[in-house]
């Protein structure tokens, strides 16, 4: 079974139009091994440590939590909220906090 990390990494990378090698090189990997290393991450053979995930998230313009989210809808919500200014995030949170389940 693929992990959410591998699935989301591949999806976010493709959405930016980067190749595995390009992303790896932007993260400071050697050009000769960047593609293979990113491929192993996307295949779920290896999982990047959290600091690496933070760098990947910053490079791809998504919140790091996106990679760990199992539910597709929640992952989309995370990305949408992350793009809002902090003031609007706080307002949205207050609105959501007032909703009774």
Average pLDDT of the chain is 94
**What's the confidence (pLDDT) of residue 31?**
95
**What stretch of H or E contains 72?**
helix 72-82
Q: Residue 28 CA to chain centroid, in angstroms?
A: 18
* Across 26-34, average pLDDT: 96
pTM score? 0.87
**What's the confidence (pLDDT) of residue 99?**
86
DSSP label of 33: T
Contact between 23 and 38 (Cβ < 8 Å): yes
What is the distance between the alpha carbons of residues 27 and 54, in angstroms, rounded to a whole number?
11
Q: How many CB atoms lie within 10 A of CB 90?
A: 11
Structure tokens at 67: 């990679």
- Residue with tokens 């939590």, as numbered in its chain: 65
Task: Read off the pLDDT of residues 41-80 as tens digits, 9 standing for 90 and up.
Answer: 999 999 999 999 999 999 999 999 999 999 999 999 999 9
* Across 11-32, average pLDDT: 96
């Amino acid at each position: 079974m693929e992990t959410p990390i591998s699935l989301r990494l591949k999806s976010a990378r493709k959405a930016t139009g980067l190749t595995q090698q390009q992303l790896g090189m932007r993260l400071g990997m050697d050009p000769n091994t960047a593609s293979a290393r990113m491929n192993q991450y996307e295949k779920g053979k290896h999982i990047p440590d959290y600091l690496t995930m933070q760098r990947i998230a910053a490079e791809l313009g998504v919140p790091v939590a996106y990679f760990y989210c199992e539910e597709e809808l929640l992952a989309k919500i995370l990305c949408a909220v992350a793009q809002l200014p902090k003031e609007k995030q706080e307002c949205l949170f207050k609105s959501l906090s007032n909703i009774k389940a």
